[in-house]
Amino acid sequence: MDDFLRLSASTARFTYGAPRAFAFGDEGRLLWYLRSTGPADAFDSLWVLDTATGAETRLADPRELCPEPGELPAVERRLRERIRLVAAGIGSYALSGDGRRAVFPLYGRLYGVTADGTGRPQQIPAAGPALDPRPNSDGTRTAYVSDDALYVEPGGRVSPADGARWGVAEFAAAEELGRSRGHWWSPDGVTLLAARVDESALQRRYFADPGRPELPAEDFAYPEAGGPNADVQLWVLGPDGDRTRLDWDAEAYPYVSDAGWESAGEILLTVQDRLQRSVLLLSADPATGRTRELSRTTHPQWVDPLVPGTPARLPDGRMLTAADTPPATAGGTPSGGAARALAVDGELLTGDGVQVRGVAGLHEGRLLIEAGLRDPAEQQVLLLDPATGELTPVADGPGVHSVTASAGTLLLTSADAEGIRRTVRTPDGREFTPADLSRPLPYRVVPVLERVTEHGVPTALVLPRDHVPGRRLPVLVDAYGGPGYQDISAEPRRWQAKQWWADQGFAVVTVDNRGTPYVSPAFTHAMYRGFSEVTLEDQVAALQALGARHGDLDLGRVGVRGWSYGGYLSALAVLRRPDVFHAASAGAAPTDFRHYDTAYTERYLGLPQERPQSDDVYERDSLIPDAPKLTRPLLLTTGLADDNVHPSHTLRLSQALTDAGRPHQLLALPGVTHMTPGGTKEKVMALELEFFRRELG
């Protein structure tokens, strides 16, 4: 590896030393977060910033608590995969209701610490290797999960031994629905709301380490498209052993995407139907378990899940929900004109000029929102008056701005080509900056951003820093292309690797084809009932449009690379459009969505068993039948410990290529997961560079 790749690997892509996982406590006086000691330190410690003084205090150092930590318990390792956590040390923490005490897991052990900084963290007794500890309102009791059972300390086991998993989020919720937890304390800190997860109907998936054949295979329950899901129930567990099940039509609405206590006498839960066309906010009585509907959000294709903070009840009792503005008529934007909006009691509050991305809460009597007002690559922070719809900017300069808020105190994060800046702003106007000890980014990258084709597809072009106009460059398409992720963003860290690729002698092109978020709902929903056609059509059209605008792009030498859905795009490109794409590196590609998970796949493609043979989108989107068509160089890569896109996806395609006599390369990485931690990504990039130089010249 060269200097950049070594630096990227040793700093976890320039994230070590940067503060993360922020949470306010004690009515906004305390700002909790995790941070390591510098750019070469992988181990995050727990810190707190006192907004009264600006002082930062390290409360817990994982190396002092666990000098010889050992391996993570399997359940915690899998949870870290679900939430994409790569840092070592203290990976997460939870605050007591008053925000003055934190508890956290560390290699299966539990610890608690208070914010006054007067004492060392204390180990909390646990029944076994523990996961997801949660303190109650005053921090006197801690709920946690061990061996799929829910415990309270002090106290003991509170969930029955009925063969189910208690207090955890099932795979679909954690991976696809944004809910990674499975138990919640009541406001009085006495009663627990807990998820009961029965996975007995699910198939098992297995991993074996080929480098250690003496070890048994590891297995876990996986909800495959068209097959059974986990049976998820919610129960109220009282202090005296009494249990009450929350009652809703779980057969019609099996997915629980959110839950929690609104007050001592009310629980709010958000449930969805299997195809995610209807989302219900329900109020539940914890004493009886009876529920009633507060709001219903529907969409004929799917309800976009990318608006955190909704649905919710406003202080005056009205319901805040996400909605789509109507499509534009003639003269609208190229993407169709609709916007992701907010509605109060069904009445639209925002219009076509505001693409709402999240609701951070209330501030100064108004809604604090994150939204896009201009280019999809940018994001602003705004105050929205729920009575009039009036918008007031809080952070709206070029770049990506985000916010966390509590009791009038804001944490504003701003990212642009100059870097990432974080500012704590108190109600009385004082400002503090949590120290960022990460490695400065090596490149200042300002990609050429353009909207192309009749669909207004966002594109980005990065050229070598020493590029001389008139010199023709091979093209490398470096894109994701799938739903739920925006590749083209003003966030600077994601451009570092693209600039490195450009400096190796490529014109690096990124295309956010239809189906990706934040342009408009119409743009996103264009991928409904079919991944391959829309993805490939937009990638080809955008590439050709850029080639017409930029004469230095040599469209006779085009490579394509990607991971996960980007790996699918890469393999798809050379299999179906070898006239456009001349070599591909496909990493962790879901080659047949019949073998991917339920919540993701069915949201976009529907149930496999309900598709007529003449309109089988699963067959159309599968890469396996295309194997005999391969005429271009193809490098396939898979991590053999990937529990998201199981290695069988890549191996099935490799087998089909072998059966068809189609030469290809296969790189199988023992022990590597979907996140490619520990420098694996950079090592693969070095091999990809050799591959593309050889195949593209």
User: CB burial class (10 A; 0-12, 13-18, 19+) of residue 317?
Assistant: exposed
d(CA 466, CA 161): 65
> What span, in angstroms and rounded, lies between the C-alpha atoms of 238 and 188?
12
Cβ–Cβ < 8 Å for 257, 178: yes
Q: Looking at 115-124, 322-331, 642-651, which range is the least confident one?
A: 322-331
The string of DSSP letters for 88-126 reads: EE----EE-TTSSEEEEEETTEEEEEETT--S--EEEP-
CA distances from 202 to 188, 228, 606 (A): 37, 6, 19
Q: What count of other Cβ atoms lies within 10 Å of the Cβ of residue 670?
A: 12
Q: Structure tokens of 404? A: 């966390």
CB 270 within 8 A of CB 280: yes
Q: Are 496 and 433 within 8 A, CB to CB? A: no
If DSSP states are collapsed to H, E and C, what string results for 491-536? CHHHHHHHHHHHHCCCEEEEECCECECCCCHHHHHCCCCCCHHHHH
Q: Please count the residues of the chain.
A: 697
Residue 457's pLDDT band (boundaries 50, 70, 90)? very high
Q: What is the pTM of this model?
A: 0.95
**Which pLDDT value is given to residue 613?**
66
Q: Say if residue 331's pLDDT is above 50.
A: no
* Domain over 1-157 is classified CATH 2.40.128: yes
Longest dimension (CA), the chain: 78
Q: Does pLDDT of 474 surpass 60?
A: yes
Three-state secondary structure of 423-481: EEECCCCCEECCCCCCCCCCCCCCCEEEEECCCCEEEEEECCCCCCCCCCEEEEEECCC
What three-state secondary structure class fits 80? helix
Mean pLDDT of 574-590: 98
CA dist 571 and 352 (Å) reads 36
The half-sphere exposure of 469 on its side-chain side, counting CA atoms within 13 A, is: 2
Residue 329 confidence (pLDDT) above 70: no
Share of the chain above pLDDT 90, in %: 89
Please state, in angstroms and rounded to a whole number, the distance separating the CA atoms of residues 549 and 563: 28
Query: Is-contact 587 638, C-beta < 8 A?
Result: yes
Q: Per-residue pLDDT averaged across 9-24, rounded? A: 96
Confidence bin at 333 (pLDDT 50/70/90): very low
Q: How confident is the model at residue 614 (pLDDT cuts 50, 70, 90)?
A: low
Q: Is the pLDDT of residue 394 over 80?
A: yes
Residue 677 confidence (pLDDT):
87
Of 235, 287, 288, nearest to 264 by C-alpha is 287
CA distance readout (Å), 139 to 21, 41, 134, 236, 315: 20, 30, 9, 20, 27
In the predicted model, what is the mean pLDDT of the chain? 94
The C-alpha atoms of residue 660 and residue 359 are separated, in whole angstroms, by: 51
pLDDT tens digits for range 60-100: 999 999 988 777 888 888 888 988 888 889 999 999 999 99
Residues 616-632, mean pLDDT to the nearest whole number: 97
Dihedral-angle region of residue 502 (phi above 0 means left; psi in -120 to 50 means alpha; beta otherwise): alpha
Give mean pLDDT, residues 299-314.
88
Q: How many CA atoms lie within 13 A of 157 on its CB side?
A: 12
**Phi, psi angles (nearest 5°) of residue 574:** -80, -25
Ranges in the chain annotated CATH 3.40.50.1820: 448-696
Domain limits, CATH 2.40.128, in the chain: 1-157
Q: What is the pLDDT of residue 75?
A: 84
Structure tokens at 83: 């939430």
Alpha carbon dihedral 349, 350, 352, 356, in 10-degree steps, equals -130
Half-sphere exposure of 50 (CA within 13 A, CB side): 12
Of 257, 370, 387, the residue nearest 315 (C-alpha): 387
What pLDDT shows up at residue 328? 56
In degrees and rounded to multiples of 5, residue 688 shows phi and psi of -65, -40
Q: Which residues touch 522 (CB under 8 Å, ≥6 apart)?
A: 327, 335, 336, 337, 338
Per-residue pLDDT at 70: 76
Helices (H) and strands (E) in the chain, counts: 12, 44
Residue 201: count of CB within 10 angstroms of its CB: 12
Which residues share a beta bridge with 234?
Answer: 195
Determine the Cα–Cα distance for residues 146 and 91; give it in Å rounded to an integer: 17
Of 298, 297, 294, give the one whose Cα is nearest residue 284. 294
610-617 average pLDDT score: 77
Q: What is the CATH number of domain 448-696?
A: 3.40.50.1820
Torsion of CA 107, 111, 114, 118, to 10 degrees: -100
**d(C-alpha 369, C-alpha 383), whole Å:** 6
